[in-house]
């Protein structure tokens, strides 16, 4: 007798499966990290049989993850891959899926664990959850049952709350794994290690030493072929509600009591609870919304769309550690480069004893956490220029993952997520309360953006770092956006 672990992907003929899920599962297989008797069952309406699905996945591996593709290993992996053609709402497809599961589970005879992955369009999440309830497939007997739900989880607080209710009718919260792939990026996980496995940063990680924090998630890609989807979503829902608020919570959280998932998630959610609520009339002065020139010509975008492809926000966390420290967040598409970075700007020295020209100042220390693509960090401090009396220059102390751990040491986030879901560790997934708190904040901002008089929509040129209004926004506080990791471009 041996245990079976079945991974069932709903929406298996879509992009996510071939670009992310199958490469991640195959890589885990090659590293011998998948359970011994696992099977992967893809399910979708596209008319494949198992053989055709395997061939599609093989071509996808060769196209999207060629460096990870190993022919012999693939043949062993492919033996465990099956496909069920049909809509999960239809009886015949349900019967076929149940039989496919049972065939292996009964042959093995041991515990039957099942991981269901909703890689479908979000409009189908609810019916998939209901279907799991109706079929009893997610009922925990003879093994665990878990359900992974991709983002976006809802499009506002009301829809996210409703989806949570539907999920909780079928599953316990412990069985629900809501994806935010940023949480599983190696550099994001490292925020916990950096802050809580080193003693030198924590004493200065507060309002007494930190002037402000910037989080930048810049993308050079425009919305491309995703126009129809994106136009109904915009940057606030697409990037801020999830990825950026999660980065913020990791930077700002208190030390958790342990590495246990609930302890960590409790601290993350406390940050969101401490965010100063923004009243409608305060939104305009605390945000900038922008759209890149040319967006309206992208396929699928409404003619006079006001959807923001760029946003900058100023947030405050009202607690003992952070009161008075502004957190500036920005993200956009069609920018001059792809970079995700967190900048901690320390306060200036309290007294300057060095001879300086009138008005001359020294630059405060900065810590730049480079999330991607050049993963690492830089610490900026002042150094005396040799052979001068006391001329100073800023220099960097740098750490790069590629130098310290070798090139290719960083796995794709989906490897971590799939492995954790299989192992029952939800630390890097978003809990129901967190999702709803985040939506509450974003709803307020969107409501203010969408009600009359609407705040202006700043048009920016593609291939720049965003609208000049965003520079003016932060300049009004006597500060400037900085891009340390992306080569101090701005
Ligand atoms: C997704 C967004 O969640 O994250 C996309 O829907 C965005 O619009 C992507 O491009 C960015 O992810 P990454 O890992 O490339 O930074």
Ligand 1 atom 9 nearest Cα = 239
Q: Is the CB of 341 under 6 A from ligand 1?
A: no
Ligand 1 atom 5 nearest Cα = 238
Distance spanning both ends of the chain, measured CA to CA: 61
Q: Is the CB of 238 under 6 A from ligand 1?
A: yes
Residue 489 has pLDDT above 60, yes or no: no
- Using alpha carbons, list the distances in angstroms from residue 128 to 139, 318, 384, 424, 429: 14, 39, 63, 21, 19
pLDDT: which is higher, 292 or 36: 292
CA of 165 to the centre of ligand 1 (A): 27
3-state secondary structure of 340: strand
- Asked which of 214-223, 255-264, 355-364, 474-483 is least confident by mean pLDDT, the reply is 355-364
The rounded distance, in Å, linking the Cα atoms of 64 and 91 is 34
Ligand 1 atom 6 nearest Cα = 238
The rounded distance, in Å, linking the Cα atoms of 232 and 76 is 42
How much is the pLDDT for 371?
96
CA of 86 to the centre of ligand 1 (A): 29
CA of 182 to the centre of ligand 1 (A): 9
Ligand 1 atom 2 nearest Cα = 238
Q: Is the CB of 436 under 6 A from ligand 1?
A: no
Q: Is the CB of 180 under 6 A from ligand 1?
A: no
The rounded distance, in Å, linking the Cα atoms of 480 and 477 is 8
Across 469-478, average pLDDT: 98
What single DSSP character describes residue 484?
T
User: ∠ at Cα 368 (362, 369), nearest 5°?
Assistant: 170
The rounded distance, in Å, linking the Cα atoms of 360 and 365 is 16
- Helix or strand holding residue 30 (H, E): helix 22-30
Q: Is the CB of 443 under 6 A from ligand 1?
A: no
Q: For residue 107, how far is the Cα from the chain centroid? A: 39
For residue 395, the cross-strand partners are 381
Across 49-63, average pLDDT: 96
How much is the pLDDT for 454?
87
> Could you tell me where the DSSP H helices lie in 253-341?
261-274, 280-283
- DSSP secondary structure, 130-158, as one string: HHHHHHTTT--SSS-EEEEEPSP--SSHH
pTM confidence score = 0.95
3-state secondary structure of 344: strand
Does residue 167 contact residue 129 with C-beta atoms inside 8 Å?
yes
Across 233-251, average pLDDT: 97
Cα dihedral sign for 460, 465, 468, 472? Answer: positive
Q: Which of 149, 224, 239 to mutate to test the pocket of ligand 1 (most atoms within 8 A of CB)?
A: 239
The rounded distance, in Å, linking the Cα atoms of 117 and 416 is 15
| Cis peptide upstream of residue 468 (ω within 30 degrees of 0) | no
Q: Are strands 376-384 and 392-400 parallel, antiparallel or unpaired?
A: antiparallel
Radius of gyration of the chain (CA): 24
The rounded distance, in Å, linking the Cα atoms of 188 and 212 is 19
Cα dihedral sign for 28, 34, 39, 40? Answer: negative
- Using alpha carbons, list the distances in angstroms from residue 362 to 49, 328, 342, 357, 387: 67, 22, 21, 11, 19
- Using alpha carbons, list the distances in angstroms from residue 219 to 188, 302, 464: 17, 22, 11
Does residue 65 contact residue 24 with C-beta atoms inside 8 Å?
no
Ligand 1 atom 14 nearest Cα = 182
Which sequence positions are flagged as catalytic? 243
pLDDT digits (tens, 9 = 90+) for 414-423: 999 999 999 9
Residue 487 has pLDDT above 90, yes or no: no
- Using alpha carbons, list the distances in angstroms from residue 168 to 40, 132, 157, 204: 25, 12, 16, 41
Proportion of the chain above pLDDT 90, given as a percent? 91
Residue 208 has pLDDT above 50, yes or no: yes
Q: Is the CB of 186 under 6 A from ligand 1?
A: no
How much is the pLDDT for 312?
98
Does residue 160 contact residue 154 with C-beta atoms inside 8 Å?
yes
The rounded distance, in Å, linking the Cα atoms of 367 and 3 is 48
How much is the pLDDT for 444?
95
Q: Is the CB of 469 under 6 A from ligand 1?
A: no
CA of 221 to the centre of ligand 1 (A): 10
CA of 361 to the centre of ligand 1 (A): 39
Residue 386 has pLDDT above 60, yes or no: yes
Q: Which of 15, 241, 243, 413 to mutate to test the pocket of ligand 1 (most atoms within 8 A of CB)?
A: 243
How much is the pLDDT for 490?
37
User: ∠ at Cα 374 (371, 380), nearest 5°?
Assistant: 80
Ligand 1 atom 4 nearest Cα = 239
Closest of 157, 151, 41 to residue 102, by C-alpha:
41
Residue 373 has pLDDT above 90, yes or no: yes
* Chain mean pLDDT for the chain: 95
- Using alpha carbons, list the distances in angstroms from residue 280 to 21, 313, 411, 438, 442: 40, 14, 41, 16, 11
Q: Is the CB of 219 under 6 A from ligand 1?
A: yes
């Amino acid at each position: 007798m041996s245990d079976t672990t079945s991974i069932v992907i709903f929406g298996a003929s879509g992009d996510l499966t071939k670009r992310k899920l199958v490469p991640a599962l195959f890589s885990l297989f090659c590293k011998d990290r998948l359970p011994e008797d696992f099977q992967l069952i893809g399910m979708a309406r596209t008319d494949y049989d198992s053989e055709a699905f395997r061939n599609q996945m093989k071509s996808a591996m060769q196209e999207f993850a060629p460096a990870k593709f190993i022919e012999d290993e693939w043949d062993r992996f492919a033996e465990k891959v099956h496909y069920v053609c049909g809509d999960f709402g239809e009886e015949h497809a349900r019967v076929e899926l149940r039989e496919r599961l049972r065939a292996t589970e009964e042959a093995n005879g041991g515990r039957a664990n099942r991981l269901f992955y909703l890689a479908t369009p979000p409009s189908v999440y609810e019916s998939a959850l209901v279907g799991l309830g109706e079929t009893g497939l997610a009922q925990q007997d003879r093994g665990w049952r878990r359900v992974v739900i991709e983002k976006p989880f809802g499009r506002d607080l009301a829809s996210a709350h409703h989806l949570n209710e539907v999920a909780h009718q079928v599953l316990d919260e412990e069985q629900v794994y809501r994806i935010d792939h940023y949480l599983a990026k190696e550099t994001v996980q490292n925020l916990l290690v950096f802050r809580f496995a080193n003693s030198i940063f924590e004493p200065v990680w507060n309002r007494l030493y930190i002037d402000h924090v910037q989080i930048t998630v810049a993308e050079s890609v425009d919305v491309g072929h995703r126009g129809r989807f994106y136009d109904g979503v915009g940057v606030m829902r697409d990037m801020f509600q999830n990825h950026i608020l999660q980065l913020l919570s990791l930077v700002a959280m208190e030390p958790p009591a342990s590495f246990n998932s609930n302890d960590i998630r409790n601290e993350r959610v406390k940050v969101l609870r401490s965010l100063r609520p923004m009243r409608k009339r305060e939104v305009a002065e605390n945000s900038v919304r922008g759209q890149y020139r040319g967006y309206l010509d992208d396929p699928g975008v409404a003619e006079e769309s006001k959807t923001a492809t760029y946003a900058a926000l100023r947030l405050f966390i009202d607690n003992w550690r952070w009161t008075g420290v502004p957190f500036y967040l920005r993200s956009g598409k069609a920018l001059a480069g792809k970079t995700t970075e967190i900048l901690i700007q320390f306060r200036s020295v309290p007294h300057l004893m060095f001879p300086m020209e009138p008005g001359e100042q020294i630059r405060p220390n900065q810590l730049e956490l480079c999330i991607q693509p050049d993963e690492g960090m830089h610490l900026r401090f002042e150094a005396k220029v040799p052979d001068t009396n006391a001329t100073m220059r800023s220099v960097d102390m740098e750490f790069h993952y590629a130098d310290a751990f070798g090139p290719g040491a960083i796995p794709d986030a989906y490897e971590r997520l799939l492995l954790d879901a299989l192992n029952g560790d939800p630390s890097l997934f978003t809990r129901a309360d967190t999702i709803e708190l985040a939506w509450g904040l974003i709803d307020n901002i969107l409501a203010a953006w969408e009600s009359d008089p609407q705040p202006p929509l700043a048009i920016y040129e593609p291939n720049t770092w965003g609208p000049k209004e965003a520079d003016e926004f932060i300049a009004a506080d006597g500060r400037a956006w900085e891009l340390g990791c992306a080569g101090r471009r701005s």
